[in-house]
Each structure stands twice: as structure tokens, then as C-alpha cells.
Amino acid sequence: MTRKRRTPLAWKNLTHDWRRLAIALVGIAFAVLLMFSQVGFQNALFDSQVKMIDDLKGDIFIVSPAKFTLAAEKRFALARIHQARSCPGVQAAYPIYCELTTSVLRKMTDGKGNRGYPIRSIGIPLEAKVFSSKEIQGQTNLLRMPNSALIDRKSKRRKFAFPLDDDAALAAESVELAGMKLMLAGTFDLGTDFAHDGNLVMSDENFAKYYPHRKRFGDPLSIVDIGVVQLQTGYSTEDVLKVLEKTLSKDVLVLTREEYREKEIHFWDKSTPIGTIFLAGKIIGFVVGMVICYQVIYSDIADHLPEFATLKAMGYSTRYFVGLIVVEALLLALIGFLPGSIASYGLYTWLAERTGLLMQMSVPSVSFVLAATMLMCIGSGMLAVRKLVAADPASLF
């Protein structure tokens, strides 16, 4: 005996009017796009802010306790780096120098200076491999030249209008940094963030020439922004961290990579309004989608009340109707999610190219938005189904 196939009533209800379904899917896709944009910007903020931490080749980091974020120009004495080098388990410790306030890059045209823009200058000791970037490591010979630097190719082009795709043309540009001539010898890839529109990397020797005001005991390199500690093989990060905390003065913080990342993310998420703004954006997108989905399901129920009344009179239970509406809601969520995610991917790609931010559609972000979309549609369905559940079959004819 053959088993009868059940009629896919939920699918039939949705597809009987393709025009209404298309409008509903556009609305849900728009809500998905809103949520993806908020999630994307928030993740881009966090990922971009910690990109430099991720790219530094170290196991432990030393910073000033007053350095609440990477953009804060709070420094500590170079002597702490020398102390760290003497600790058991430390293979090497190197200083990183950063400048933003007086680091103004200006393009010269016909001997006249255009408007200058702040750019983060990063000074590194060339004998050390403090960046994991092979691009930087492979261009240390260029950084040994006087008054030379590498520029981040993701620097905002509307501000730094340089030929970043042509090294020869780039080197021929007439440029000033902090009022002194600079040669842009090459490029590297780091990315912008909400505090920095671009980046320069130069040798610590050149860094000292451009920023002589950073003096303590007459040496511009005597104060450090970030200390990078590399461990010897066989030593655990936790053990060396404890030794460094006991050895170094209380005027510095000693952090693992993960602790440093969390510290930076926590500042932007909790100490600025940015986290609240993005949360509000996600809620708005959720509510917009919920209203649209509610209207679609409610209209479907209203249009088919006589048919539902017949099923009720035949003995179909409330559980059946609730299940039917849940299936409709899930179908709307899944079908609407697809065009919304495709549009969001295109938006991410465009924004990444235009802003230099790390707009990435990661698995956690996709999972979050998909779960929010399903919850949004199911919640709308549960609100709409109340009309059907509360109705008396006799009064519906």
C-alpha cells in the first residue's frame, strides 16, 4: 500500500501569490542587510583595531598602564625592554615606536604643500623581525635608506593620493612628513581603523629624526610605545609572564596576545558609544524584519480564514496551526536570508575597498544573523497566529 504524500500547505500558502512573496522577501532581505551591516561594522572596528597586535611577532607585550588603547600616546622607559631581555625564557625583547599627533603626511605639488593628514608612523628596529608580514621583512634594505618609509597600501586614498600600486611612481612622489622630506620606498598591508587613516613603517633611526621631541635624557628612542617579547623554545607564556611581572616595575603592564586583544576590544566596546550604536542598529534591523514578516503572515492568515476554519471544524488541533505558521516563518527566513546575505557580501567587499577596514563575512557573523533572522520570523509568526488560534470556527463562515 502506497503512503500518501502530505500537501506542503505552508509552502502553498506562501507561493500562491508570488507578488506578495517577492515583496516579503525584499523586506526580509533588507532587514538581513541592516543586521549584517551593523555586525560587519562592529567586527571591522574590533578586527581593524587589533590588526597591528595580530601582526606583531611576539608572545608577550609590554605597555604603559595609561595606554588604554593603541591610539593613546602613553609610553614607558626603554629600560624596561632591557630588563625584560635579562629574564629567563626571553629570547628577545624589542621596542615599537608609534607617533600620530605630529605625524602629518603632506603631498608636495610644484614645490607647494597640499593639505596634510595625520598618519600613524611606526618605528621598528631593523635587526629584529617584529612584524610577521613578509612584505616588511623583505624590504628592510629600503628602510635602511635615510628618510625612507613604507606606506600602507590600504591607507585612505582620498586623503593620501599616492600611486600605491606602482613602487617606482611612488618613490618619485614629493612628500613631506612632519615638515621634513620623505621618500615612500614601498608598500605593505596593514589596514586602517577608526583612529588611524593610514600607516607608515620606518626604521627606528629614521623615526628618531622625524620626531626628535620624544626625548628623555636626550634620546628620542628612550621612550617606548609597545614592547614585543619573544620567548625561547620550551618556556610557557604563563611562566615567563609571571617572571616579567615580578621583574619589571609597576609602571608597565605585561600582557599576553589574547589579553592585549581583549583589552583593546573592551575599550572600544564598553568605553565608547560605538558598541551601543551598533547594538541599536542590530535591534532596529531585527524590529524592521519582524514587522514585515508579521504583516506577511497576518495577511496570509486573514486571506485564508475560511479554509483554516474548515480545518478547525474537521478537528485539526491548535498545535497543527502553530506548526504550520512556524514552518511558513522558517521558509520566509531561509529564502529571505539568501538574497540579503548576497547583498551584504557585495556591501562588505565595496566598503573594504573604499575604507580599508576588515569587512569580513565570517562564520560566527553569518550564524548570528541567520539565527536572528529565524528568531525574527518565528516571533512574528507567533504573534500573527494568535488571531487564528483564538477564532471560533462557527463564526468564521
Tell me which residue of 367, 73, 313, 319 sits closest to 211, measured CA to CA: 73
Residues of the chain with pLDDT under 50: 1-2
Give the span between the Cα atoms of 125 and 318, in whole angstroms.
73
Cβ pair 233, 101 in contact under 8 A:
no
Cβ pair 221, 32 in contact under 8 A:
no
The pLDDT assigned to 390 comes to: 67
Give the span between the Cα atoms of 207 and 195, in whole angstroms.
20
The pLDDT assigned to 120 comes to: 95
Helix, strand, coil distribution of the chain in percent, nearest 5: 50, 15, 30
Grid coordinates representing 234? 620550551
Q: Which helix (H) or strand (E) holds 312?
A: helix 305-313
Cβ pair 367, 46 in contact under 8 A:
no
Dihedral over alpha carbons 131, 132, 137, 139 (to 10 degrees):
-80
Grid coordinates representing 279? 547594538
What count of other Cβ atoms lies within 10 Å of the Cβ of residue 179? 11
b/e string for 36-52 if b means 16 or more Cβ within 10 A? bbbbbbbbbbbbbbbbb
What count of other Cβ atoms lies within 10 Å of the Cβ of residue 350? 11
The pLDDT assigned to 262 comes to: 93
The pLDDT assigned to 393 comes to: 62
Question: Cα-flanking dihedrals φ and ψ of residue 75, to 5°?
Answer: -125, 175
Give the angle subtended at the CA of 383 by the CAs of 378 and 388, to the nearest 5°: 110
The pLDDT assigned to 77 comes to: 92
Tell me which residue of 343, 335, 390, 396 sits closest to 18, measured CA to CA: 335
Tell me which residue of 259, 254, 262 sits closest to 46, measured CA to CA: 262
Cβ pair 157, 355 in contact under 8 A:
no
The pLDDT assigned to 395 comes to: 55
The pLDDT assigned to 327 comes to: 85
The pLDDT assigned to 296 comes to: 79
Output the pTM of the full model. 0.77
Beta bridge partners of 61: 228, 255
The pLDDT assigned to 1 comes to: 44
